[in-house]
Amino acid sequence: GAGVSQSPSNKVTEKGKDVELRCDPISGHTALYWYRQSLGQGLEFLIYFQGNSAPDKSGLPSDRFSAERTGGSVSTLTIQRTQQEDSAVYLCASSLVRTGVETQYFGPGTRLLVL
């Protein structure tokens, strides 16, 4: 079946503008994660959604970052007033929660460049 998809694949924006990044998880997956991959920081967890539970936002680097997940499926990560240090690849992953260990399936990422 279809994997995790993300859009856009690339985004160039000017400092101070807002951006929205979209993630379509694998159908039926109840857990959704956002990670950020940057040269200086490696791969970092940002936020986690599981069903109707309150999201785990512990990885969001500042209050300029927010995310929502509508209808338990598609998620949007929003970055307000972008800064140059926000330039990174934003990866989304989804998993089917079971008893035991979940495998997270990753999308191809959105490459964000803030000028």
Partner 1 sequence: AQSVTQLGSHVSVSEGALVLLRCNYSSSVPPYLFWYVQYPNQGLQLLLKYTSAATLVKGINGFEAEFKKSETSFHLTKPSAHMSDAAEYFCAVSDQPGNTGKLIFGQGTTLQVKP
Which residue in 75, 82, 95, 112 binds partner 1 (CB under 8 A)?
95
Per-residue tokens: 112: 């964000």
Which residue in 1, 28, 71, 100 binds partner 1 (CB under 8 A)?
100
CA distance 31 to 45: 14
Residues 42-71 that bind partner 1 (CB under 8 A): 42-45, 48, 50, 56, 59
Per-residue CA distances from 51 to 32, 69, 70, 80 (Å) = 9, 9, 10, 26
Which residue in 23, 30, 35, 67 binds partner 1 (CB under 8 A)?
35
**Does 31 sit near partner 1 (CB under 8 A)?**
yes
For residue 16, give the nearest of 82, 115, 85 by alpha carbon.
82
Per-residue tokens: 64: 């300029």
How many CB atoms are located within 10 Å of the residue 95 CB? Answer: 20
**Does 87 sit near partner 1 (CB under 8 A)?**
no
Residues that bind partner 1 (CB under 8 A): 4, 31, 33, 35, 42-45, 48, 50, 56, 59, 91, 93, 95, 97, 100-109
